[in-house]
Chains A and B, each alone.
Chain A
């Protein structure tokens, strides 16, 4: 009797890939009751669908640069779907995944339950409705203008803002009702990200001062606040919680985290105009943006060092965890890509790289290499604890390697091609030559993007398995 039982266990573990040791799980879930678990999982699962939609559209846009006459319907044209790609991955995938994770991080670090699940559900619907409506309008040819990440017209974006406002209220009440004296550093970042985001969105959607170049000044500000004060600040907050939890050791330095928080606020807010170097906006505004872009090295180094020292000496744990390799990759990209961003702000760098695909490579190294990898790491770290089922190790590894290889191909191709392009312009060669030379690099981008897209399907499948097949195994 005993022997047959042993055999059956062995058989099932062979199916689950015998070469790799099962991943560990250390997170406590005492602050998540059944209904808030459902809320978190809904956010995360919806986000994975937005990720697939967003990348499918992005891949389509990438193909169109190489084959401009491919799928040439009006609602599929490059100019209309480019913003659909960015808005889907921004407001759909990243935002929903972040908020979903925060519904775990905030109550756990505050030692209390979430203030209201109901508010969580309402904001979930508001955010999704606005992203669906906004995307459909863009495909229909209705756009605010080509101001990046601000393409949704205000009647649509106000729904999104309402969702964020409710989320912020919910988080604030949870933190206010905490059962620990101190507010953990994660909650500094997450709560502040919500407040900052509401502020900059309202500032950027108010029309009064946005006439002529006033609009451009607000656009530079908005574009960078979206990435820096919403996505970056929010995910940093999540990682300040998830990284120590997954390693089961405290964060290396609490003070470094606080330094990172205040410098993020002081420096990041000022750098928006570095997207308009050499443009007709006042020269002093551009100079301020450059100076503070260099200043960004301080918060970036502070958090990188903090994460790196927390990770130090934990090779074994990283190896046996599904989430930590993603977070480690995110930390590396956080340092490299942010440093690259600071240097790209210099006037000298703008001579070569401004207006080229180099910028696109940079934005993917940050929004994908940093933010998306951080989110994946946190999701793989958290979800098994909520559902009691680990993802299949092999499939997590496939996800990781497809995503990383794809990103590297994507980024290297565009940086190389962008540099060549910039040099062609600097040398005064005909413009069309700078289009023709990009074709091979744009093709490499399609290949890299294809690998990334594959990774996203695998991720969604892994998530599906963790959530919906939870009854197969006990926690």
Chain B
């Protein structure tokens, strides 16, 4: 039989369909089924609680993933966002209900930073509320929308309500700003976003998958570490916006602390259940010895010249070993 595509429409369109379907099967359906079968959730990971799941729904509905990726690439420039993402990180993603599909969190654009590990980096829930309510009240150059509809704005407070310490000029004339249930759920989800550590087997599996390009940056600039990790709370120039969080420049309480005490705080963070606005991440998991040394030296040099001692990475390494 002669294959006459130009005058046999059944043959032409039948072939076009068949070829397309076979290719689609090979390039999409088969790898997707394979990914579903092979990948298990990471050993160290926890399933989302009901509240975190509801927060995830808010995250999807508000379209957060258009500007925030959740995929850390195995590249030097992505190091600040966490360890490289692995298939297991996404293994538990499934449809939220019967009329929706599995949401995509990997994203395709980074107008804002990657959020894979944001719960570890920004573990202060009060900061998260204020930042959601009006990002520019803590990060002046932020381009993020102000999610004020996730908050109640009112002039009188009920007995069991706690208002957020939003700076007056961002309150739009109201006395009190209170997070709604949706805001609480969303923040619960944001704090949930912490990359679980990989088990040994998982690390080996990962290394087999591709050649890593991850090499720690040799040259670490303290100001870059400060601006990326610390400025969101303590202010770009060491002066916290509206004094919500401690200023590092010209601050009385801080000037009494020794450099060793400061290094301890940076390494181990602050956990204060009664007064959550004081919470600070433990940077031992987030930064290398070199980075911590660089940022300490930067801060000391910029705002507190009394000490004059240069901290080395070895010193941080010793401190890290000493105490948890």
Q: How many residues of A contact B (CB 8 A)?
A: 92
Interface string of A200-222 (1 = CB under 8 A from B): 10011101111111111111010
Which of A209, A219, A285 meets B29, CB within 8 Å? Answer: A209
Q: How far is the CA of A128 from the CA of B149 in the complex (A)?
A: 30
In the complex, chain A residues 247-292 whose Cβ is within 8 Å of any chain B Cβ: 258, 265-266, 269-270, 272-273, 275-276, 278-283, 285, 288
A209 B32 Cβ-Cβ under 8 A: yes
Contacts of B276 in A (CB 8 A): none
Report the separation of the CA atoms of residues A278 and B85 in the bound assembly, to the nearest whole angstrom: 10
In the complex, residue of chain A having the shortest beta-carbon distance to the beta carbon of B4: A182
Cα A17 to Cα B113 with chains together (Å) = 53
Chain A interface: which of B104-112, B194-202, B243-251, B299-307? B104-112
Task: Establish whether residues A145 and B33, one from each chain, have CB atoms under 8 Å apart when the complex forms.
Answer: no
A209 touching B64 in the complex, CB below 8 Å, given contacts A144-B101, A200-B24: no
> Is A298 interfacial (CB 8 A cutoff)?
no
Known: A183-B6, A210-B102, A435-B111. Contact between A143 and B24, CB under 8 A? Answer: no
Query: When the two chains form their complex, are residues B61 and A141 in contact, meaning their CB atoms are under 8 A apart?
Result: yes
* Segment of B14-22, B155-163, B258-266 in the binding face: B14-22
Q: What is the CA–CA distance of A150 and B102 in the complex, to the nearest angstrom?
A: 11
Quick check: B39 and A65 within 8 Å, CB to CB?
A: no
Whole-angstrom distance between the Cβ of B203 and the nearest chain A Cβ: 14
Of B7, B87, B142, the residue contacting A183 (CB under 8 A) is: B7
Give chain B interface residues in 30-87, CB to chain A under 8 Å: 31-33, 35-36, 39, 60-67, 69, 71, 73-77, 80, 84-87
What's the least CB distance linking B80 to chain A, in Å?
Answer: 7
B95 within 8 Å of A by Cβ? yes
The residue that A431 contacts in the complex, of B7, B90, B113, B209, with Cβ under 8 A, is: B113
Query: Does B139 reach chain A (CB closer than 8 Å)?
Result: yes
Question: By the criterion CB–CB under 8 Å, are B63 and A192 in contact?
Answer: no
B106 adjacent to A183 (CB under 8 Å): no
Q: How big is the B interface, by class? A: 35 or more
Assess whether A389 is interfacial by the CB under 8 Å rule.
no
Bound-state CA distance A141–B106 (Å) is: 19
Task: Give the chain A neighbours of B221 by CB distance below 8 A.
Answer: 428
Interface centre among B29, B100, B108 (most CB of A within 10 A): B108
Closest CB in chain A relative to B226 CB, distance in Å: 8
Instruction: Determine whether A351 belongs to the interface, using a CB cutoff of 8 Å to chain B.
Output: yes
The CA of A413 and the CA of B228, in the complex, are separated in Å by 26
Q: Assess whether A320 is interfacial by the CB under 8 Å rule.
A: no
Q: Mark A111-150, 1 if CB is under 8 A from B, else 0.
A: 0000000000000000000000000000001111111101
Whether A212 contacts B93 by the Cβ 8 Å rule is yes
Please state if B20 and A276 are interface contacts (CB–CB under 8 Å).
no
Measured in the bound complex, the distance between the Cα atoms of B84 and A199 in whole Å is: 34
Q: How far is the CB of B68 from chain A (nearest CB, A)?
A: 9
Listed stretches A18-26, A49-57, A76-84; interface member: A76-84
Docked CA distance A440–B24 (Å): 42
A432 interface contact, C-beta 8 A: yes
Bound CA–CA A236/B266 (angstroms): 59
8 Å CB contact of B35 from A64, A65, A213, A425:
A213
Cα–Cα distance between A141 and B64 once the two chains are bound (Å): 11
A276: chain B residues within 8 A (beta carbon): 71, 106
Contacts of A265 in B (CB 8 A): 16, 19-20, 23
- Indicate if the CB atoms of B111 and A270 lie closer than 8 Å: no
A349 interfacial contact with B, CB 8 Å: no
A359 and B108 form a contact (CB under 8 A): yes
Check if A211 sits within 8 Å of B109, measured CB to CB: no
Contacts A182-B7, A195-B13 given; indicate if A355 touches B104 (C-beta within 8 A): no
A77 x B145 contact (CB < 8 A): yes
Asked if B27 is an interface residue, CB under 8 A from chain A, the answer is yes
Q: List the A residue with the shortest CB-CB distance to B41.
A: A212
Tell which of A65, A142, A175, A210 touches B111, judged by Cβ atoms closer than 8 Å.
A65
Chain A residues with CB under 8 Å of B91's CB are 211-213
User: How close is A20's CB to chain B, nearest CB, in angstroms?
Assistant: 41
Residue B310 CB within 8 A of the other chain:
no
Q: Within the assembled complex, what's the spacing in Å between the Cα atoms of A434 and B5? A: 53
How distant is the Cα of A79 from the Cα of B66 in the complex, in angstroms? 7
* Residues A210 and B101 in contact, CB atoms below 8 Å apart: yes
- Is the C-beta of B148 less than 8 angstroms from some C-beta in chain A? yes
A176 to B76 alpha-carbon distance, docked (Å) = 57
- Known interface pairs A150-B101, A195-B20. Does A207 touch B95 (Cβ–Cβ under 8 Å)? yes
Q: Which residues of A contact B61 (CB under 8 A)?
A: 80, 141-143
Pick from A65, A155, A214, A283: contact of B209, CB below 8 A. A283
Alpha-carbon separation in the docked complex, A238 to B292 (Å) = 61
Supposing A155-B99, A266-B19, A278-B74 touch, asked if A65 and B143 sit within 8 A by C-beta, the answer is: yes
Contacts of B148 in A (CB 8 A): 72
With contacts A195-B13, A355-B110 known, what are 12 further pairs, Cβ within 8 A? A65-B111, A68-B143, A79-B63, A80-B61, A176-B9, A195-B17, A211-B94, A212-B36, A215-B101, A217-B31, A281-B87, A430-B227
Mark A residues whose CB is within 8 Å of B. 64-65, 68-69, 72-74, 77-80, 82-83, 141-148, 150, 153-155, 172, 175-176, 181-183, 188, 191-192, 195-196, 199-200, 203-205, 207-219, 221, 225, 229, 258, 265-266, 269-270, 272-273, 275-276, 278-283, 285, 288, 351, 355-357, 359-360, 425-426, 428-433, 435-436, 438-439
Query: Could you pull out 5 A-B pairs where Cβ atoms are within 8 angstroms?
Result: A79-B63, A79-B67, A213-B87, A280-B87, A439-B143
Sorted nearest first, the 10 A-B pairs with minimum C-beta distance are A145-B103, A79-B63, A430-B227, A146-B65, A214-B32, A355-B110, A278-B73, A141-B61, A221-B28, A147-B104
